[in-house]
Structure 1
Amino acid sequence: MKTRILITGLAFVSAISFAQKKEIKKAEKAIQSNEYSEALSYLSEAEPLLGTVDNALKAQYYAAKGEALLGSGGSDYTKLKGAVEAFSKALEMDPKMEAQLAGPIQNLRAALINSAVKDQTAGQYQMATDKLYTSYKLTKDPSDLYYAASNAVNGKDYDSALKYYQMVLDSGFTGETEEFVATNKETGEVEAFENENVRNIAVKSGQFIKPEKRVTESKKGEILRNMTLIYIENGDNEKAMGLMKDARAESPNDVYLMRADADMSYKMGDIARYNELMGKIVASDPENPEIYFNLGVGSAEIGNNEKAIEYYEKALELNPDYEAALINIAVLKLSGEDALVEEMNSLGNSRADNQKYDQLKQQRNDVYSDALPYLEKAFKLKPDSQEVVRTLMNIYGQLADDVKYKEMKAKLEALEKQG
């Protein structure tokens, strides 16, 4: 009798397994037809007794679920996150599925990153951080983690930023990549290509010259710099100094680490050390405009705008057509506009207030006039930059230069139509 019961039980389990296989197959067929909601419906029928089947069938179920959620997800983070969890379980149940899921996982990562970029642009830094970290959990690509940490910094979620940055450092990631570049004969700009063969074809066409191979800037200095600044912000100067000391001991001649050390010194009020380190950085390559530009960026980030403009101006001395330096100087010069406008808006209607208003308006116009030459040159170098055109249009409008205002307005409308 016991044997008969056991055989009956086994037959019952086999029937369940067969039924689940059938539902999963239906789901897979629906996915091939892009019927993702239908696929999820079939999978929901198979789910209740999933614990009774072997790992291979479980992996098949989770793989199908991940694809169905991805296909129907669009920008729905809940579904994309569910797809990550499903693919992770599929690989856990059957690591051999890695090759089969490589394409869907790549598409899922792209969906998460593209969505995170939109969040970042909209100032939704927490959401961008979550999406990038979710992508990292699936792909284990430290670059996703690095950008998650960067968004956490922007969102002032310093605990998460420190955690992610430390994980990036522990992984050995530096962000350095090899690029194949050449100079565009028409524009004079150095452009990167997908690979060496594509670059060589471009050079043979005659449109490009000076083929080179270069390594992009390491992100380690930036990571350590941000970590030290967060520790300082949190009042933990000891950790900040310890972290920088170890990093500098490991790479004493690393210019990016020197800059991070200088920024830390400035934050701590050690201006003498800050100036000493800045001198060493400049001496490392005094004729390189990139050095001065990067020093300008660092100085602006720690609030030393005057020094930042000084470095950008030096970069322009070495390369008068340095578009990014021109734009950054203009941005810094225009940064005082908000305070002036706020004060103007706070005034009343008395005679004294009206006089003060006129004084502030003149100061604001002086700010515009000071920034204008840099923006106008940037426009000549890159006339298709919508942001530069829009800023010029607004400034000309405020300065009552109707002719140039209308010119920039027409230019902006044309650029927007081009997409």
Structure 2
Amino acid sequence: MMRHTFLLLAAIFGFSLAAQEGPKITSAVIAADRQDLAEAKSYIDEAGQIIGTKSLSEVRSKDLAKFYYYKGLINFRLTQSSDEAIKALDPDALDKAAEGFKNLIEYEKQIGKERYTDDVKQQLPYLANAYASRGIEASGKEDYANAFIDFQRTYDLKKEFGIGTDTSMLYNAALMAQQAGNNAKAIEITEELIAMNYRGVQYKAKNAATGDPVEFGSKKQMDFSVKSGAVTDPVVEGDIRPDLYITAANLNKKEGDTARYDQLVAEARTKFPENQTLLILELQKYLDTKNYDKALENLNKAIAIDPSNKIMLYNKGVILQTEMNLYDEAIDAYQKALNIDPDYSDALYMTSIVYLDQANEVGKKMNDLPLNAKTKYEALQKEQTAIFEKALPYLEKAHKSNPEDEQVTTALGQVYRALKMYEKALELTKE
């Protein structure tokens, strides 16, 4: 009889152990219903500890589903509380809320019975927004690593549970990864955005009643509001696709993958031929490889897009002058740059260098003459003086525009002495 009594007690005790998470979950639900979040949090955590000691098959499906749901709900309510003491109960409450909701959806799908799935789906957009808000807060504190994690979680959460594909959050994640120095992730996400053809477009309009600006999450929302008469003057702004290519290319180059850099730049140039920055990236590649014909082709395209770009005209002149020995064409390019900015010191100086190089060539001819070739020498000397006189106004203006430039000052002094303008040379020396 004693043996049977012992077995009966063991069975009762075993049942007690098996079922003890149930009362804890029920107590958590009751506390949550009366808004006692501290007590609800304590009970749901205790239930979680008990369940953690068992195989999930030992927990009744009804209890396990309720546990997952209220684990998510109670922890999420903690994060939304206006009471800082309640918020401080668990700094990881938001992540635990997401874990609870995710486990609930997966579990009810597995058992084929949905008790709380619809309730969770109503909470998910708010949960995603909480992650986005936390990411924005972290970004404001320059905690870029955690901001990246939260923006990525926001995107993943919305995508996984069919809330929507929030590409703006993915874009923010890429920016934060880059700021955090996580180039590998920044490259991965930026190239994912490129593959998605992400434009980063903004949809804006004016409030019909107040005239205040209004932003919309999609063109569909904006069009609906326009049709209803709530807003006027709809505008679609922005296209950051070229910038995505530029970012991805530069990050790949920074990480040493020059082949991928070249591939991205070439692809982007095909898609966005009018983009100046991409054109310049390609130009640099041609300069680095000394492919000056292609470099000039790019410069001419850039100038055609923006004829007022003095820097492109100047660079064209430098290539024509220093790499291709096309001096007249170089002067023409410099002159066009000076038509835009008459005080452009670099263009003034390089124009003078064309003339000074010509003067030096004449000087070499003079030095090669025999001592008795006086007539030829004087003719060449006159020719050289005329060339120095051409260079002089450019150097004087360059010096006036940028008196700190030592190259300009040195060249101007040499021309003053060559033209026997010794007082000017002395003044320059005193400066």
Alignment of 1:295-314 (within 5 A): none
Q: CA deviation at 1:148?
A: 0.9
Q: Which position in structure 2 is the counterpart of 1:148?
A: 173
Q: Which position in structure 2 is the counterpart of 1:45?
A: 46
Q: Which position in structure 1 is the counterpart of 2:198?
A: 174
In the alignment, does 2:149 pair up with 1:130? yes
> Per the alignment, do residues 239 and 196 of structure 1 end up closer, same or farther by CA in structure 2, a change over 3 Å counting?
closer
CA distance in 2, matches of 1:135, 1:14: 42
Cα offsets for 1:279-334 (capped at 9, x unmatched):
67x48xx9xxxxx9xx9xxx9xxxxxxxxxxxxxxxxxxxxxxxxxxxxxxxxxxx
Q: Which position in structure 2 is the counterpart of 1:165?
A: 190
> Per the alignment, do residues 104 and 267 of structure 1 end up closer, same or farther by CA in structure 2, a change over 3 Å counting?
farther
Q: CA deviation at 1:89?
A: 1.9
Contact 2:205 2:232 in 1 (8 A): no
> Per the alignment, do residues 247 and 19 of structure 1 end up closer, same or farther by CA in structure 2, a change over 3 Å counting?
farther
Unaligned runs of 5+ in 1: 287-291, 300-419
> Per the alignment, do residues 183 and 83 of structure 1 end up closer, same or farther by CA in structure 2, a change over 3 Å counting?
closer
CA distance in 1, matches of 2:30, 2:199: 41
In the alignment, does 2:107 pair up with 1:88? no
Q: Which position in structure 1 is the counterpart of 2:407?
A: none
Contact 2:68 2:100 in 1 (8 A): yes
Q: Which position in structure 2 is the counterpart of 1:223?
A: 244
Q: CA deviation at 1:230?
A: 0.3
Fraction of identical pairs, as percent: 15
- Of 121, 131, 137, the match for 1:102: 121
> Per the alignment, do residues 146 and 168 of structure 1 end up closer, same or farther by CA in structure 2, a change over 3 Å counting?
same
Q: Which position in structure 1 is the counterpart of 2:404?
A: none
Q: Which position in structure 1 is the counterpart of 2:72?
A: 66
> Per the alignment, do residues 220 and 64 of structure 1 end up closer, same or farther by CA in structure 2, a change over 3 Å counting?
farther
Alignment of 1:13-412 (within 5 A): 18-50=19-51, 51=54, 52-54=58-60, 57-73=63-79, 78-95=92-109, 96=114, 97-140=116-159, 141-143=165-167, 144-169=169-194, 172=196, 174-175=198-199, 179=203, 181-182=205-206, 191-192=214-215, 195-202=222-229, 209-210=232-233, 212=234, 215=236, 217-246=238-267, 252-254=270-272, 258=275, 261-262=278-279, 264-265=281-282, 268=285, 270=287, 272=296, 275=299, 278=302, 282=305
Q: Which position in structure 2 is the counterpart of 1:344?
A: none
Name the SS of the counterpart of 2:102 in structure 1: helix
Contact 1:66 1:86 in 2 (8 A): yes
Please tell me the root mean square deviation across aligned C-alpha atoms, in Å: 4.5
Contact 2:249 2:265 in 1 (8 A): yes
Q: CA deviation at 1:241?
A: 1.7
Contact 1:31 1:68 in 2 (8 A): yes
Q: CA deviation at 1:128?
A: 0.9
CA distance in 2, matches of 1:84, 1:278: 51
> Per the alignment, do residues 53 and 199 of structure 1 end up closer, same or farther by CA in structure 2, a change over 3 Å counting?
same
> Per the alignment, do residues 237 and 44 of structure 1 end up closer, same or farther by CA in structure 2, a change over 3 Å counting?
same
Name the SS of the counterpart of 1:146 in structure 2: helix
Which amino acid in structure 2 is aligned with residue 181 of structure 1?
Answer: A
- Normalized against structure 1, the TM-score is what? 0.52
Which amino acid in structure 2 is aligned with residue 265 of structure 1?
Answer: E
CA distance in 1, matches of 2:283, 2:131: 37
Cα offsets for 1:199-229 (capped at 9, x unmatched):
34556xxxx654x4x6554444333321111
Q: CA deviation at 1:277?
A: 6.0
Name the SS of the counterpart of 2:92 in structure 1: helix
Q: CA deviation at 1:145?
A: 2.5
Contact 1:177 1:216 in 2 (8 A): yes
> Per the alignment, do residues 246 and 265 of structure 1 end up closer, same or farther by CA in structure 2, a change over 3 Å counting?
closer
Name the SS of the counterpart of 1:123 in structure 2: coil
Q: CA deviation at 1:54?
A: 4.7
Contact 2:273 2:279 in 1 (8 A): no
Name the SS of the counterpart of 1:174 in structure 2: coil
> Per the alignment, do residues 44 and 253 of structure 1 end up closer, same or farther by CA in structure 2, a change over 3 Å counting?
closer
> Per the alignment, do residues 154 and 22 of structure 1 end up closer, same or farther by CA in structure 2, a change over 3 Å counting?
same
Q: CA deviation at 1:262?
A: 3.1
Which amino acid in structure 1 is aligned with residue 140 of structure 2?
Answer: T
CA distance in 2, matches of 1:92, 1:16: 26
Which amino acid in structure 1 is aligned with residue 96 of structure 2?
Answer: G
Which amino acid in structure 2 is aligned with residue 121 of structure 1?
Answer: G
Cα offsets for 1:325-351 (capped at 9, x unmatched):
xxxxxxxxxxxxxxxxxxxxxxxxxxx
Contact 2:148 2:176 in 1 (8 A): yes
Number of residue pairs aligned between Structure 1 and Structure 2: 274
CA distance in 1, matches of 2:198, 2:124: 24
Q: Which position in structure 1 is the counterpart of 2:377?
A: none
Unaligned runs of 5+ in 2: 81-86, 160-164, 288-294, 312-431
Q: Which structure has the greater CA radius of gyration?
A: 2
Contact 1:27 1:43 in 2 (8 A): yes
Contact 1:34 1:71 in 2 (8 A): no
